[in-house]
Structure 1
Amino acid sequence: MAKTPEQIIRDFCQLWEDQDIDGIVNACTEDVRYANVPIPEMIGRDAMRKFISRNLTAADKVEFKLLSIATASDGRTVLTERIDAFHFGDKRVPLLLMGTFVLRGDKICEWRDYTDVGTFVSQMTAIGQRPGPGILQD
């Protein structure tokens, strides 16, 4: 039996908690369009891998807490409200956001998260961590 769009996204969130970079990237299409609005969109798995790897490899733990999840009327768009949190030792950096995932089959072909990136940057900087590439000048 095929997974529902919501289950595909729930499984994707679990990959983040597992810090499974390969699993995250492979859950997306080769030409995935990924944006952490207002950061410019990244296109393709390689760009996505580069962006997510720094924080996923540096974090001791990652949480993706779904507050709300719904499938849009088109049957392939899943809307989420989440709190993502990255743990570095005893420091926790939470991020409240809205996410839009568009599926092509059982793969994510578009992913947009809307959040206050400035808050994330200031929290990361305050604990001595560097945000992912593209958020600040690298």
Structure 2
Amino acid sequence: MMSTNTTLVSEFCDLMVKRDAEVLRRFFTADAVYHNVGMPPAVGVDAIVENLAQQMTAFPDSYEYRMVNLAGDGDVVLTERVDMIRTPDGIKHGVPVMGTFVITGGKISRWTDYFDTALLVKMNTGEDYSALVPQSS
């Protein structure tokens, strides 16, 4: 049985396929922080929504999170996902991502994603990276 916090994060991740950053606003505290490790963090709900909108615009044909594993302990929810994006060359790629969500008062107050940035190079050069991508449920 999923906890309230894991249900919240699951619902949030499922809504990514709608590619509407504004729909996701309600999930965040006003002072939330989103950090895609290796890039500057977005601080505050407005900055997070703007950041997500930019990501969705960069990949206009596909943007989806496929959950592999979801675990929660108190106010922390961990996700192992395959984030699906279609690049301008028309290929749909799966990017393995580990995410940490901290929930405060029923909303996401901190979201940190970790992924292998070298994998993006492999995608862009056509190298076979399929062994690096876990199978989603």
Distance 1:111 1:121 in 2: 24
2:85 equivalent in structure 1: 86
| Gap change, CA 1:68 and 1:40, over 3 Å in 2 | same
The CA deviation at 1:82 is 0.5
Distance 1:88 1:113 in 2: 20
Unpaired stretches in structure 1, ≥5 consecutive residues: 128-138
**Aligned length in residues:** 122
Which residue identity lines up with residue 116 of structure 1 in the other structure?
A: D
Distance 1:77 1:118 in 2: 27
2:17 equivalent in structure 1: 17
> How far does the alpha carbon of each residue in 1:65-97 deviate from its partner, in whole angstroms, 9 at most, with x for none?
11111112xx11101110001124732132101
> SS where residue 64 of structure 2 aligns?
strand
State percent identity of aligned pairs. Answer: 31
| Gap change, CA 1:119 and 1:110, over 3 Å in 2 | same
Note the 1:101-112 alignment, pairs <5 A.
101-112=101-112
Q: CA RMSD in A?
A: 2.2
The CA deviation at 1:39 is 1.7
> SS where residue 54 of structure 1 aligns?
helix
Residues 34 and 41 of structure 2 are in contact (CA less than 8 Å); yes or no, is this contact kept in structure 1? Answer: yes
